[in-house]
Chain A
Amino acid sequence: MGHVKTSVWHAVFAGSLAQNKARSLLSVLAIALGVALGYAVQLVSAAAVNELGQGVQFLSGAADLQVRGPRGGFDESIYPQLARMPEIAVASPVVEVDARIADRNDVLKIIGIDAFRAAGVQPGLVAAPEDRLDLLRSDALFLSPAASRWLGIDAGASVNLQNALRVVALRVAGLAPAGGEQRFAVMDIAGVQTNFDRVGLITRVDLRVRAGVDVDNFRDRLQALLPAGLAVQRPEASVAASESLSRSYRVNMNVLALVALFTGALLVFSTQALAVVRRRAQLALLRVLGVTRRRLIFLLVAEGAAIGVAGSVLGLIGGFVLAEIAIRTVGLDFGAGYFRGLTPVLSPNLLALGLFFCLGVAAAMLGSFAPALEAARAAPARALKAGDQERAFDRLRPVWPALLTIIAGGVASLLPPVAHLPLFGYIAIALLLIGTLMLIPRITSMLLALAPIPQGAPARLALLQLRGAPGQAGVSLVAIVASVSLMVSMAIMVASFRSSLDAWLERVLPADVYVRANAAGDSAYLDTEVQGRIAALPGIRRAEFVREQQLLLDPYRPRIVLLAREGDAPTLARQLSLVSESLPAGVATEAGAPPPIWVNEAMVDLYDFRFGKVIELPLAGTPTPFTVAGVWRDYARSQGAVVVERARYIAFTGDRTATNAALWLAPGVDVGSISEAIVRGIPGGSRLDIAAPGEIRQLSLKAFDRTFAVTYALELAAVVIGLFGLSSSFGALVLSRRREFGLLRHLGMTRRQIGAMLAVEGVLVSGIGLMIGFCLGWVISIILIHVVNRQSFHWSMELFAPWTALAGSALLVLALSTLTAVAMGRQAMGQRAILAVKEDW
């Protein structure tokens, strides 16, 4: 009995896995590549989020709640009020500054604590130096072990940091007792306030509530008592806020990586479908001999599972190696710049391992399921008959399931985001893709019917063969159509983004020179004296200063950016890249009307700050009403940002400092000479970043390309898998026709003519694949641009298709697939044609 079972098992398996070693290996590799990419992206993202979480957890210690506000700080007088509350056991004030390391484009996080208070909430931050007074000295700091390693300095050394444009030299008094892989320094809170111009300000208060106090209930009561712009939340909210900044990016990367796995599943589908069709008579024979439908399905799906297991194991190993390479070369954020300052450590966990293993196996099994079902459903008597293969594709003929899937995709693309993620956008793309793939045999059939029958025998036979077997041709196309459509859609999306970014930079950089104090960290700025000196430099016709500030509107989201810019409402409305209509100049200045504010698209999506709406912003602890006078495009950030008139900002806050300056030069004055004048004439001028708009554009586009480098790599992987799929299935088709070639050789067709016939078939099939792939890709790109990108990053953009590059890629795919067809034909011709005609059809 066991022997019989083995025979049935062997009869099914030997037909595919063993007899088609190369194609089975290709399927395994495709699944492995998909799993590897998905797992690598997950590992790297998990490492980044884990580091963020550990950082917040460590820095907040045993705090039950945290009071947070603007990044620049809030009035410290709130602290004694909190400390006196009966529900609070310990309140620990904190000043956090991301201090720029002098003459370096790096940031060191400085945490100012009251050692006596912190001991009760964040004991891990309180060092135990030999000289206990170092804990209170304003020139002493304690480096975390990771920061010490990073800076290459130890106790006794000094570290130069920047405040405004001045250097602050601080002594390393020792190492903080803990901190894992976090890079930071701890010092006395008063020291941070005096050294970094934060006197009277704090950035956070960590609270431990007394035993028995309901934390959430107390939080709600406390929130009502806090001034505008402050929020009290559990420390986890900070993790959520930090995480949310990069969440969309990470999710998009994950989806993109899973696309490779999806393409792999399609490859398994087409390979298995064609293998099953080729063995249709053999499988029917097994049914005749008594193998049940269920058992046949089980055996064929098990074949897929075997491919999936092998692919997943290979993929998991490859994914780990890829992730290691990625964090060493492009960093935790794949070059996007979200996680600077984190020291990454990969920590694979069983859940993720299991998940990606199962995904790989499921993809392969799913790819095998439809062919298995078809083989089991086929009527054995008919399937045993020669020439019945095309009947296997009959189930692909009905059009309505495909049309319904496409319509569902169209509807999904209109739905709003879920938890600020474009889930329906992804679903829409998946449905459109699946619907179109289901339509491929029908579309192939229609297009082939339209083609005129050529005179030459090879081309004529090629066309007639394809017309006679559109199902097989269609199935062989699924992987390449999927990958080409994704390649085209990503290419159009990225090109649209790049060209829109380029146009935007042109628009938002009207000045001749830009000066930036806070390129790294938030400790550097331009005081009023420096501003005056810059404005008075000979050769400067006009100088406009900008104050960049960060406000907390929602503790679960990153702070929004407030830009206080010089100029009146009409000027600002003109300078900004508005995507909405603009309020007439007079409306917002009418008596009693709140002053104008211009918001970026993220503010509309995340905070519903719509055009014309009156909103409130917490300025200097006071809720201040504004009228949304316009919505502007902001490719510089994906979190919210608002622009206000600087004069009003100063009037509300008294803050006259600036972080950036835009300079217009007098005729004949060049950027180099002004740059030199700033470096020489302004104290600390060498610490400023000075750039012409051209340089900024170049740097921005370079950063853009770096960010999308990994995207290109993932896209390439999908296309490679698609080509694998095409060559594998085309190869299978060609090899299965060796008897036909044998007959044609008998009838007098030369090898060259058969090669030409296959080349024509290759061109026709891949041409149809490319045509469908391009059309579908164009539709998907619209969803990517207007739904996925908009809902993920809140950026709108204009459609731009890089036709030349796309045409080049199309030609390459066409050439590769045609070569594959011819190469496979040669292999098939290598079989002795004479022997082949002895076989039954």
Chain B
Amino acid sequence: MLVVRDLGKSFAGPRPRTVFAGVDLDLARGEYVAVMGESGIGKSTLLNLVAGLENADGGSIRLDGVELTTLDDDALTILRRGHLGFVFQAFHVLPYLTVRQNVALPLSLLRNVGTEAQSRVTVMLAAVGLGERGDSMPSELSGGELQRVAIARALVHAPRLVLADEPTGNLDPESAGQVLGLLREQIKANNAAGILVTHSQVAAGTCDRILQLTASGLREIAPHRQTP
């Protein structure tokens, strides 16, 4: 489903720097991989490139056969809207929307606001254990709960690919464990593919494969995990 070939990225400026080069990645639907690497190696940049939020210097990114590197900003935005889901370290739940409205946001952007959409939101909220908190405001929730909202929002529109950037960086170990389990469970349940960027071996251990990002590319450091 996601095929990345010979991807490279460098930053210009007074001190130009090549972040990485020669990155190859194949990801099938239902597959969940972790990307690890030292700080500053470009893990988040790799996610941004896959999401079409930054431009690569060279190489190819194909999502279900569509070459992302040739698309313009609007096309990439529309693609992101329909097919990608995001989970961030800082949750990024909009403080002025209720939990339900936050989760429904991707559907709203897709103009999918009917009864079916409402049911889908309800299902997702129940799935992440927030079935009773739909009308709460984000300020009433704990960090772990906020990240659950973010996971529900990332998956509510059934994206093909979920990108999670250090989703447990702001959570205590117990909440982190719950969130990681939930993220994996939901990616699998929705038959999406997922990339988890993390520093944590424990977090990476919840994925099917663990990849190490270096300046010269990605290499697998742990074998396939048995898919539950």
Which residues from chain A sit less than 8 Å from chain B, CB to CB? Answer: 385-390, 455, 457, 460-461, 464-465, 467-469, 739-740, 742-743, 745-751, 833-834, 837-841
Contact = CB atoms under 8 A, between A and B. Distances in A.
20 contacts: A386-B90, A386-B95, A387-B95, A387-B138, A389-B95, A455-B111, A455-B113, A457-B109, A464-B97, A468-B95, A468-B96, A740-B92, A746-B53, A747-B81, A747-B106, A748-B77, A748-B84, A838-B89, A838-B90, A841-B95
Contact of A388 (B73, B91, B92, B139): B139
Contacts of B51: 746
A154 to B, nearest CB: 76
B49 to A, nearest CB: 10
Nearest to A739: B92
A749 B77 contact: yes
Nearest to A455: B113
A748 B94 CA distance: 15
Contact of B108 (A460, A469, A840): A460
B86 interface: yes
Contacts of B137: 468
Given A746-B80, A834-B54, A457 B108 contact: yes
A467 B54 CA distance: 33
B78 interface: yes
A747 B80 contact: yes
A748 B139 contact: no
Interface in B104-134: 105-106, 108-111, 113
A841 to B, nearest CB: 6
B74 interface: yes
Contacts of A457: 108-109, 111
Contacts of B91: 841
Nearest to B105: A747
B75 to A, nearest CB: 10
A43 to B, nearest CB: 49
Greatest chain B CB density within 10 A among A464, A740, A748, A839 is at A748
A468 B54 CA distance: 31
B48 interface: yes
Contact of A749 (B54, B95, B109): B109
Given A387-B95, A746-B53, A748-B82, A837 B77 contact: no
Nearest to A466: B96
Contacts of A390: 95
Contacts of A745: 53, 77
Contact of B80 (A389, A467, A748, A841): A748
Contact of A743 (B77, B84, B94): B94
A468 B97 CA distance: 7
B32 interface: no
Interface size class of chain B, counting residues whose CB lies under 8 Å from the partner chain: 35 or more
B109 A748 contact: yes
B29 to A, nearest CB: 20
Contact of A750 (B74, B94, B138): B74
Nearest to B80: A748
Contact of B90 (A750, A751, A839): A839
Given A747-B80, A749-B81, 20 more contacts: A386-B90, A390-B95, A465-B96, A467-B96, A469-B95, A469-B96, A743-B88, A747-B81, A747-B105, A747-B109, A748-B78, A748-B81, A748-B109, A748-B110, A750-B77, A750-B78, A833-B53, A837-B92, A840-B90, A841-B95
Contacts, number: 83
B92 A743 contact: yes
B80 A464 contact: no
Greatest chain A CB density within 10 A among B91, B92, B101, B105 is at B92
B44 interface: yes
Contacts of B97: 464, 468
A746 B94 CA distance: 13
Contacts of B90: 386, 837-841
Greatest chain B CB density within 10 A among A389, A460, A746 is at A746
A452 to B, nearest CB: 14
A751 B73 contact: yes
Nearest to A747: B106
Contacts of B109: 457, 747-749
A761 to B, nearest CB: 11
Contacts of B81: 747-749
A837 B80 contact: no
A657 B109 CA distance: 87
Interface in B50-75: 51, 53-54, 73-74
| CB-based closest 6 A-B pairs | A468-B96, A748-B81, A387-B95, A743-B92, A748-B80, A750-B77
Greatest chain A CB density within 10 A among B80, B138, B139 is at B139
A740 B105 CA distance: 13
B77 A841 contact: no
A746 B53 CA distance: 8
B104 to A, nearest CB: 10
Greatest chain A CB density within 10 A among B77, B81, B106, B110 is at B77
Nearest to B95: A387
A749 B81 CA distance: 7
Nearest to B166: A838
Greatest chain B CB density within 10 A among A389, A464, A740, A743 is at A743
A746 B86 contact: yes
Contacts of B101: 464
A455 B108 CA distance: 8
A460 B73 CA distance: 23
B44 to A, nearest CB: 7
Contacts of B54: 834
Contacts of B77: 745, 748-750
A9 to B, nearest CB: 30
A839 B156 CA distance: 24
A499 to B, nearest CB: 46
Nearest to A391: B139
Greatest chain A CB density within 10 A among B88, B95, B113, B153 is at B95
Greatest chain B CB density within 10 A among A385, A388, A750 is at A750
A269 B138 CA distance: 29
Contacts of B138: 387
A751 B77 CA distance: 9
B24 to A, nearest CB: 23
Contacts of B96: 464-465, 467-469
Greatest chain A CB density within 10 A among B51, B53, B78 is at B53
B94 A834 contact: no
A431 B117 CA distance: 50
Contacts of A746: 51, 53, 80, 86
A387 B96 CA distance: 9
Contact of B86 (A469, A739, A747): A747
A472 B86 CA distance: 28
Interface string B136-148: 0111000000000
A580 B172 CA distance: 82
A748 B48 contact: no
B64 to A, nearest CB: 16
Contacts of A838: 44, 89-90
Given A468-B96, A748-B78, A841-B95, A834 B111 contact: no
Contacts of B89: 838
A460 B74 CA distance: 21
Contacts of B106: 747-748
Nearest to B75: A750
A468 B110 CA distance: 23
A249 to B, nearest CB: 50
B111 to A, nearest CB: 7
Contacts of A469: 95-96
A572 B88 CA distance: 86
Nearest to B78: A748
A461 B113 CA distance: 14
A272 B95 CA distance: 22
A86 to B, nearest CB: 89
A761 B101 CA distance: 18
A832 to B, nearest CB: 9
Contacts of A465: 94, 96
A745 to B, nearest CB: 7
